Structure 1
Amino acid sequence: MSVRIDITGLRPERVTVVPSPLAELCMALHALSEPGHHPGLQGWVTGVTARLDSHLADRMSEADFLWRTTFSDLFMPFAGVPGRTTLPGATLAEDLDLLDKLSDEQFVDAALEFTCALAYSTPGSSALTDAGTRRRALDLAAARGPRQLRFAERLLTDPPRIRAWLRGFLDDCDEAFFADAWSRLRHQLAADARHKTELLRRKGLAEALAAVSPAVTLDEEAARITVDKLADGRTTTGDGGLLLLPTSFGWPHLSVLHRHGWQPVLHYPVASQDPADPPSVEQLALRMTALSHPVRMRICRYLGRSAYTTSELAQAHGVTPPEISRHLAVLKKAGLLITRRRGRYVLHQLDVTVVARLGSDFLEGILR
């Protein structure tokens, strides 16, 4: 599973690394709504929550599905501006001005993403103009609760009203907590953008993408970027550009905007909270599967304490050496073993560091 971006004909100058205050505000709102996704932000979340005005907190819950369950593309309006080469604003106000440039259909379709009612990476009918799509969107909103249904009904009935409400709410969030955070974070994000831009200039797109995340790879021959995610999607840069957006609040999320007709965007965390490279989704699945077998779990109990040969493990578990070898091969393929030779003996030991990381790796893999 992955998201693929066709970059056929993409000119180097059309690849831009730049932070977006509005996209960062989205991640800040997400961290406040889902603090469990962001253990490293616990102090910031606690401080903001304690100071938050109760009226603003109530308004935050009215449409939190725009940033809690999805990262709505409304927070990257520059990608939807015709021409697909528009860059984010330097300030939140400039980004919000770009949000105002989206058509009502674009705004409504992006806002309804939480219902999964509309086509995303392929052309589809708008809920504003197609009665069937509208009914399906309302049905799916209702299944997600009365707040989502009320929001969807107001959105479809009076888009300008919701647009005004959202801009006012985001302005109030800026005043309440985001302006202070952005004044500290923007320098870090700008420095990362400069670094990636220099990599682009000196070493090319492949090196820059590798620095973005090990989950992002470039097949230069096929002119395709692949992002390793538990999701499927396709898009193309077409005659537009490609945006790389650094985020400080975003770890462990590596987001890809691949909405049909919009400029593709890679929204990546500036630094992992774990110095080790995250495993691929395939590698994570291999590790989880390897550890799920009861015999391999018992073998791991031994190997977690000391190093053993195949024969020793076979004797301890009352099975044949070939059977133990098959289980060891599964664990080794999953990257869970350390194997070393001592004379004519081969010793196997569990890599407890890798196993200890599985909790955070699993979280990062499913939230990426």
Structure 2
Amino acid sequence: MSVDIDITGLPHERIVFSPSPLAELGMALHALAEPGHHPGLHGWTTATSAALKPELADRLHEADFLWSPTFSDVMLPAAGVRGHGGQPGATLAEELDLMDRLDDERFVSAALEFSCSAAYRSGGPSPLADERERRRALEMAAARGPRQEQYTRRLLADPPAVRAWIRRLFEDCDQAFFADTWQRLRGQLAADARHKTELLQRKGLADALAAVSSALTLDGDGRRIRVDKLSEGQATALDPDVGPGITFVPSSMGWPHLLVLDAQRWRPVVLYPVASPELSRPASVQLVQLRLEALAHPMRMRLARFLARAPYTTGELAEAEGVSAPEVSRHLAVLKKAGLITTRRRGRYVLHQLDLTVAARLGSDFLEGILR
């Protein structure tokens, strides 16, 4: 599974690497709402939550479905403004001005993204213009909860008022905690964006993508970017409605999330976590699936128990389990293909052992894969 982005013929000057203060605020709000997703930010989320005034905390709770569990595209407004070029604003105020420039239909559809309506991703009719979609938006919001239904009714009745309410909320977050956070992070994010831009100019897009994440690859003919995710999607960087381009936004607070804006009538955006030296490169979703499937068989689980303690030959494992050597060999081949065991020769014997580092990381690889 993957999200594929068509970049056929897209010139490099239309590929933008740039930090976004509004996107980083969105990730900060997501971390506050879902601290379990971001164990590395435990100190920041605990201190920030404790310092929030009750009135602001209540308002954040009222709107938290905009950044958790989904991440609303209103946080990436530069991608939806016609003729803008996809460059995020340098300040939060500039980005909020860009949010104000989104036309009502685009803003409302993105602000209802939490309802998981397929019409938004496919470029279907807006609930502002289509009565059937309006009823469907209200039904889906009601299924999510009373807060979501009340918000949706307000949004459909008066989009400018809700847009102003969201803007004031973000401005108050900036004053309460985000301005200091952004001041600390923006230099690192700007440096990362410059580095990726230089890689693009000197070595090409494939190298720049590899530096962004191992989950991003360029197909053989250079026409498509593939994002390894546990979901499927199609996007184009050549949409004439908003103009050609694709934007890559580094995030310090985003790990383990790798987000892709792939809705029609928006420029594609990839919001990626800035690499941290203590984090190893993530395994692909397919490799995680292969490893989980390999360990799902009870015989291979029992073999792994032996191999975690010491190296064993095929014959020793067969004797310990009371099965034939060819059967053990078949199971070992599955474990080896999944990268879970290592082998080495000692004289005429071949010894197998569980790779404890790989096994220990499987839980975090799984978590990163499903949250990516």
TM-score range, shorter chain: over 0.9
Q: In the alignment, is the contact (CA less than 8 A) between 1:84 and 1:241 conserved in 2? A: no
- Aligned counterpart, 2:67: 67
Q: In the alignment, is the contact (CA less than 8 A) between 1:251 and 1:273 conserved in 2? A: no
**Residues 70-127 of structure 1: CA deviation (Å, up to 9, x unaligned):** 1100000000011362311000000000000001111100011110124244221101
Identity %, equivalent residues: 65
**1:244 alignment partner, SS class:** strand
**For residues 103 and 10 of structure 1, what CA distance do their matches in structure 2 show?**
26
Q: 290, 303, 322: which is aligned to 1:286?
A: 290
Q: In the alignment, is the contact (CA less than 8 A) between 1:249 and 1:269 conserved in 2? A: yes
Q: 268, 271, 277: which is aligned to 2:272?
A: 268
**2:122 alignment partner, SS class:** coil
| One-letter identity of the residue aligned with 2:202 | R
1:147 Cα deviation (Å)?
0.6
**Residues 323-352 of structure 1: CA deviation (Å, up to 9, x unaligned):** 101111111111101111112111100001
1:268 Cα deviation (Å)?
0.3
Q: Does 1:213 align with 2:213?
A: yes
| Structure 2 unaligned residues grouped into runs of 5+ | none
**Structure 1 runs of 4+ off > 4 angstroms?**
none
Q: Note the 1:53-132 alignment, pairs <5 A.
A: 53-83=53-83, 85-132=85-132
1:177 Cα deviation (Å)?
0.5
**For residues 86 and 154 of structure 2, what CA distance do their matches in structure 1 show?**
29
1:27 Cα deviation (Å)?
0.1
Label 1:88 to 1:356 Cα distance change in 2 as closer, same or farther (>3 A).
same
**2:367 alignment partner, SS class:** helix
**Residues 21-54 of structure 1: CA deviation (Å, up to 9, x unaligned):** 0000000000000000000000000110111000
Between 1:79-88 and 1:125-134, the stretch displaced more is: 79-88
**1:63 alignment partner, SS class:** helix
| One-letter identity of the residue aligned with 2:99 | L
- Aligned counterpart, 1:334: 338
**For residues 220 and 244 of structure 1, what CA distance do their matches in structure 2 show?**
21
Q: Does 1:352 align with 2:356?
A: yes
**For residues 3 and 246 of structure 1, what CA distance do their matches in structure 2 show?**
18
**For residues 84 and 316 of structure 1, what CA distance do their matches in structure 2 show?**
68
Q: In the alignment, is the contact (CA less than 8 A) between 2:16 and 2:86 conserved in 1? A: no
| One-letter identity of the residue aligned with 2:65 | F
| Structure 1 unaligned residues grouped into runs of 5+ | none
- Aligned counterpart, 1:319: 323
**For residues 294 and 84 of structure 2, what CA distance do their matches in structure 1 show?**
44
Between 1:353-362 and 1:206-215, the stretch displaced more is: 353-362
**For residues 86 and 353 of structure 2, what CA distance do their matches in structure 1 show?**
53
Question: What is the Cα-based RMSD across aligned positions, in Å?
Answer: 1.1
Q: Does 1:9 align with 2:9?
A: yes
- Aligned counterpart, 1:32: 32
**2:43 alignment partner, SS class:** helix
**For residues 367 and 57 of structure 2, what CA distance do their matches in structure 1 show?**
27
Q: In the alignment, is the contact (CA less than 8 A) between 1:118 and 1:133 conserved in 2? A: no
| One-letter identity of the residue aligned with 1:346 | V
Q: Does 1:310 align with 2:311?
A: no
**For residues 118 and 283 of structure 2, what CA distance do their matches in structure 1 show?**
31
**2:343 alignment partner, SS class:** strand
TM-score in terms of structure 2 length: 0.97
- Aligned counterpart, 1:184: 184
**Residues 261-284 of structure 1: CA deviation (Å, up to 9, x unaligned):** 111111000014753221111100
**For residues 273 and 196 of structure 1, what CA distance do their matches in structure 2 show?**
17
| One-letter identity of the residue aligned with 2:332 | L
- Aligned counterpart, 2:224: 224
- Aligned counterpart, 1:167: 167
**For residues 10 and 38 of structure 2, what CA distance do their matches in structure 1 show?**
35
| One-letter identity of the residue aligned with 1:255 | L
- Aligned counterpart, 1:247: 251
**For residues 347 and 272 of structure 1, what CA distance do their matches in structure 2 show?**
35
1:139 Cα deviation (Å)?
0.8
**For residues 275 and 342 of structure 1, what CA distance do their matches in structure 2 show?**
34
Between 1:207-216 and 1:113-122, the stretch displaced more is: 113-122
Matched length: 368
Label 1:29 to 1:184 Cα distance change in 2 as closer, same or farther (>3 A).
same
Q: 349, 353, 366: which is aligned to 1:362?
A: 366
Q: 253, 277, 284: which is aligned to 2:281?
A: 277
| One-letter identity of the residue aligned with 2:186 | R
Between 1:286-295 and 1:101-110, the stretch displaced more is: 286-295
Q: In the alignment, is the contact (CA less than 8 A) between 2:86 and 2:246 conserved in 1? A: no
